Amino acid sequence: MLYLQTFIDALMIGGVYSVIAVGLSLIFGVMRVINWSHGESLMVSMLIALYMNQYTPLDPYVIMLIVGAVMFVYGYVLQSVVISRILSRETDREPISCLLFTAGLGMVMSYSVQIIFGSKQVMAQTKYNGRALHMGDLVVSLPKLIAFIIAVVAVAALWTFLQKSEYGRAIRATSQNRSVATLMGISEKRVYSVSFAIGTMLVGLAGGMLIPYFSVYPTVGSVFSNKSFIIVVLGGKGSVPGALLGGLIVGLIEKFGALFFSESVAQIIVFLMFIAILLFKPTGLLSKDKG
């Protein structure tokens, strides 16, 4: 029973990791850009959701949708106005400038929040806090379950969008071969902006779904971003099913590692696995090439 409980917990937390990582993966896959401020974007989303929850009577999951929309706009604007300028200067090599720029941006976001709001760790008060479903001996936390369901739905929706819709195909084409896609008439800049925006939107949704059970403080982003980086590499950059699988795997290692050893050891195992993947299958678990 203990194992089943651990398994369920692992899946639920893995699902949330996935939805955060998949945005990063998409951006990395399409634009070859690592958004180093991904974690801080999550923190800001959580902050907005927290305040909206405190001052408006809206249901936290409605707030989540609003924050998602806000973050979509933010990502779109950030990319089209700022990042595209930097990107256009890069050669075909991995764009380190974007990494550095977003690292600076992340620093500004995190420390500004600390100055303005202080470092207090605040937990949102919602009607879902502490509630759980009891199925015999099993306990399933309600806010985590809802987060898991939304996360999986979001990832599935994204995948469908990429596979079936016109825009989605344009995005996939660009990620496979930038120059050819442009020749085919696809606006590279537009694709980038939409991809980036989708990435930040997913982070916005994640922020909204986390607040019923996760505290908000200026450096909360780094907890998730470190894991996101690992998941992106694990699943293969640009791969949506890869990010989902990667998130679940990280969740499982964390929980079962903690069960058999301890939380700290579990963290180390996750990092070691990351190194192993980089060594043996750097293009990700689900990719077909040998990297």
Partner 1 sequence: MKKFLAIILTLAMALSLVACGGDKPEESAKPEESAKTEESAKTEESSGADVYKIGVVLPMTGGSARMGELQYEGMKLFAEHYNEAIGGIQSLGGAKIELVLADSTGDPATGASEAERLINNEKVDALAGPYNSSVGAVMQPIAEKYGVPFTVTNCTADNVQMTEGELKYTFRPNHSNSSNVGAILDCLAFLQEKDSSVDLSSFAIIYENTDWGNSCVDTYAAALEAAGYEMKICESFESGSADFSTIVNKIKNSGAGFIMPCMYVSDAVLFMNQYTEYGLDNALIWAGGGILTDDFITSVGDLANNQITLNGWCVDTMAESNDPELCDWLSERCKEDTGSELNENVANGWIGVATLIQAVEDAGTKDKDAVAAAMKALDLGRDSLALLLHAYEGIKMGEKETWDGSGVMQNQNIYSAGIMTQIVDGQIRQIYPDWSGNPLVWPVA
Partner 2 sequence: MIDKKKLLTPKNILVTVVLLILALLPIFPTTGAYAIQLTCLTMLFIYWASAYNIIGGFAGHTSLGHACYVGIGAYVAVMLYLYGGISPWIGMFIAGIVAAVIAGIIGYVTFHMRGSYYTLSSVALLNCFRIAMAASKEIFGFKTGGAVGLKISWMGESVSGMQFVSKVPFYYIFLVFMILCVLLCWYIKNSKMGYYLAAITTNQDAASSLGVNIMQYKLMALCSSAFLMALGGAVYAFFLTSIDPLSMFNYDTSARIMLMTVVGGLGTLWGPVLGAALLVPLNEWMRASFGARLSGLSFVIYGIILMLVVMFLPKGLVSLKDKYEKRRYEKQQAKEVAVKEASVHE
Are the C-beta atoms of 222 and 39 separated by less than 8 Å? Answer: yes
Alpha-carbon separation of residue 221 from 36, 79, 95, 111 (angstroms): 11, 20, 23, 12
What six digits make up the tokens of 133?
A: 């479903």
- Least Cα distance to 137 among 5, 3, 283, 285 occurs for 5
- Least Cα distance to 144 among 234, 136, 152 occurs for 152
Q: Which does 241 bind (CB under 5 to 8 A by kind): partner 2, partner 1, none?
A: none
* Binder among 58, 104, 130, 177 for partner 1 (CB under 8 A): 130
Q: Which does 84 bind (CB under 5 to 8 A by kind): partner 1, partner 2, none?
A: none
Map the footprint of partner 1 across residues 4-33, applying CB under 8 A: 5-6, 9, 13
> Contacts with partner 2: how many residues (CB under 8 A)?
45
* Binder among 28, 74, 196, 217 for partner 1 (CB under 8 A): 217
Using CB under 8 A as the binding rule, whether residue 223 contacts partner 1 is answered as yes
Residue with tokens 């085919």: 184
Using CB under 8 A as the binding rule, whether residue 134 contacts partner 2 is answered as no
- Least Cα distance to 22 among 283, 235, 257, 256 occurs for 235
| Min CB(237)–partner 2 separation in Å | 9
CA 158 to chain CA centroid, nearest Å: 13
| Min CB(243)–partner 2 separation in Å | 15
**What is the rounded radius of gyration, in angstroms, for the C-alpha atoms of the chain?**
19
Residue with tokens 């689900």: 286
Using CB under 8 A as the binding rule, whether residue 111 contacts partner 2 is answered as yes
Q: Which does 290 bind (CB under 5 to 8 A by kind): partner 1, partner 2, none?
A: none
Q: Which does 219 bind (CB under 5 to 8 A by kind): partner 2, partner 1, none?
A: partner 1
Using CB under 8 A as the binding rule, whether residue 260 contacts partner 2 is answered as no
Using CB under 8 A as the binding rule, whether residue 97 contacts partner 2 is answered as yes
Alpha carbons 265 and 257: distance in angstroms, whole number: 7
Using CB under 8 A as the binding rule, whether residue 230 contacts partner 2 is answered as yes
Map the footprint of partner 1 across residues 225-254, applying CB under 8 A: 254
> DSSP string covering 136-184, please?
TTEEEEHHHHHHHHHHHHHHHHHHHHHHHSHHHHHHHHHHH-HHHHHHT
Alpha-carbon separation of residue 232 from 19, 133, 171, 217, 258 (angstroms): 11, 32, 18, 24, 22
The span of 13-21, 138-146, 156-164, 276-284 binding partner 2 (CB under 8 A) equals 276-284
Using CB under 8 A as the binding rule, whether residue 215 contacts partner 1 is answered as yes
| Min CB(257)–partner 2 separation in Å | 12
Identify the burial level of 103 via C-beta atoms within 10 angstroms of its C-beta, where 0-12 means exposed, 13-18 middle and 19 or more buried.
middle
Q: Which does 170 bind (CB under 5 to 8 A by kind): partner 1, partner 2, none?
A: none
Q: Return residues touching partner 1 (CB under 8 A).
A: 2, 5-6, 9, 13, 114, 118-123, 125, 129-132, 134, 139, 141, 213-215, 217, 219-220, 223, 254-255, 258-259, 262-264, 267
